[in-house]
Amino acid sequence: MNAIRYIFTNPLGWAIVFVHWIVIAFAYLGDRPSDSFGVHAGATDLMFYLALLDSPSLLLSTFLTNLFNRSTTIALPWLIPLVTLITLQWLLVGAGISKLYCGFRQEVPVDGCNGPKLL
């Protein structure tokens, strides 16, 4: 129970989630496609990289959609689990980064006199 509370109350995770959704809003509302050759002609480079970063959640959502529906598209009712999975993915990433940082912070002394000697 403490792990779930840590994941959902981690400020770094929520900051990553908010920045991610702001970038998605910019990608769909403000970014213009470039004149480059690619797999998807209407997609921008930013959309490609967002899809690459969100691929674990996209694959899991597609798998769950295919369990209940044989169509390959994610329709409007399946958008809610997709948004939830993407948000959960970034909350887990933020909690993992925060946990690694806290572990590193405990190993390295913080006082200036007894810090690690580099040379």
Task: Kindly write down the DSSP assignment for every residue of the chain, as one continuous string.
Answer: -HHHHHHHT-HHHHHHHHHHHHHHHHHHHT----S---SSTT--HHHHHHHHHTHHHHHHHHHHHHHH---SS--GGGHHHHHHHHHHHHHHHHHHHHHHHHHHHHHS--SSTTSPP--
The larger pLDDT score, comparing residue 8 to residue 105, is at 8
Q: Exposed (0-12), middle (13-18) or buried (19+): which is 66, by Cβ within 10 Å?
A: exposed
Residue 97 · residue 105 · CB < 8 Å: no
**Low-confidence winner among 5-14, 77-86, 92-101 (lowest mean pLDDT):** 77-86
Confidence of residue 17 (pLDDT cuts 50, 70, 90): very high
Q: Is the pTM of this model over 0.95?
A: no
Confidence of residue 12 (pLDDT cuts 50, 70, 90): very high
Residue 18 · residue 86 · CB < 8 Å: no
Query: How far is Cα 9 from Cα 109, in angstroms, rounded to an integer?
Result: 27
Domain boundaries along the sequence of the chain: 2-34+43-107
Mean confidence (pLDDT) of the chain: 79
Confidence of residue 116 (pLDDT cuts 50, 70, 90): low
